[in-house]
Amino acid sequence: MKFNLDTAEIFVPDGLSAEEALARTTHMAVGAHQDDIEIMAFDGILQCFQRDDKWFCGVVVTNGSGSPRDDLYKDYTDEAMQVVRRKEQKKAAVIGEYAAQVLLDYPSSAVKDNSNKAPVKDIGLLLKAAQPRVIYTHNLADKHDTHVAVALRVIEAIRDLPTAERPQRLYGCEIWRDLDWMVDVDKVAFDCSAHENLQAALLGIFDSQISGGKRYDLATIGRRRANATYYASHDVDVATGMIFAMDLTPLIKDPAKDIQTYVQEFIGRFEQEVVERLEKL
């Protein structure tokens, strides 16, 4: 497989060839940065963990060079941080027993440039090789530009595929803006109660982010717990952890569907619910 960048890499924890590793993939997550996958796509990791019939593949699109840093990492150059973050992502792939971990190594600027089709082509190559049934990516209301850009590139790559080769489901998950605001009927709620030890291990492996000044580990587990408790106001908790997602499947089933209009419909239903409640009371 020939990617656009020579520095791109496919890491296979159990030593299979890249071709075999990708071919067994059933669930795939495409994230912007190292640790995004472990934050937003734990449902896919959990679905495949310790299974022989389901396999999870992680794809990180950018090189992660612009991350904040402090403590041990405060004097690290962008180049040094890239090395560290790549190593951490591979460790996560080993712990989570991923089928493969792909590192496309683009600078964020390249991904945010919608005229640059190289990231779309690379994602398309992976989709053709892996043909996953389910894909997790960022949600389209995320407040991080690179996250939204990655989601748009994923949608474009899927739309370029023949209909028969497209995944069955595409989910946009929460990181830099949770999805609690969505009306309940619109939320996809993934139960992430199981294997809290695995969740902690996957999040904790990214020491460059945690010691570097961002407690993503605590924030992510806290959000999952909060989502589970606040999911239903008049029912007892049915889970100890939940991740919310936006169902983006209609955007790949119907490539003519306008992306901006689709997202605005979610916002419109939220607005309508708030207004109706105020008027009623």
In terms of residue numbers, what domain contains 172?
A: 9-256
Picking from 101, 80, 81, the residue whose alpha carbon sits closest to that of residue 38 is: 101
3-state secondary structure of 60: strand
Backbone angles phi and psi of 106, in degrees to 5: -80, 145
Q: Evaluate if residue 76 carries a pLDDT over 80.
A: yes
pLDDT at 72: 81
For residue 281, tell me if it sits in a domain. no
pLDDT at 234: 73
pLDDT at 69: 74
Contact 5, 105 (CB under 8 A): yes
Picking from 87, 96, 6, the residue whose alpha carbon sits closest to that of residue 43 is: 96
Picking from 34, 16, 38, 36, the residue whose alpha carbon sits closest to that of residue 25 is: 16
pLDDT at 25: 98
pLDDT at 275: 98
Q: Which residue has the higher pLDDT, 213 or 6?
A: 6
Binning pLDDT at 50, 70 and 90, where does residue 181 land?
A: very high
CATH of the domain at 77: 3.40.50.10320
pTM for this entry: 0.96
Binning pLDDT at 50, 70 and 90, where does residue 215 land?
A: very high
For residue 18, tell me if it sits in a domain. yes
Q: Total domain count for the chain?
A: 1
For residue 176, tell me if it sits in a domain. yes
For residue 266, tell me if it sits in a domain. no
For residue 264, tell me if it sits in a domain. no
Binning pLDDT at 50, 70 and 90, where does residue 232 land?
A: confident
Binning pLDDT at 50, 70 and 90, where does residue 221 land?
A: very high
Distance of alpha carbon 261 from alpha carbon 87, whole angstroms: 39
For residue 274, tell me if it sits in a domain. no
For residue 210, tell me if it sits in a domain. yes
For residue 2, tell me if it sits in a domain. no
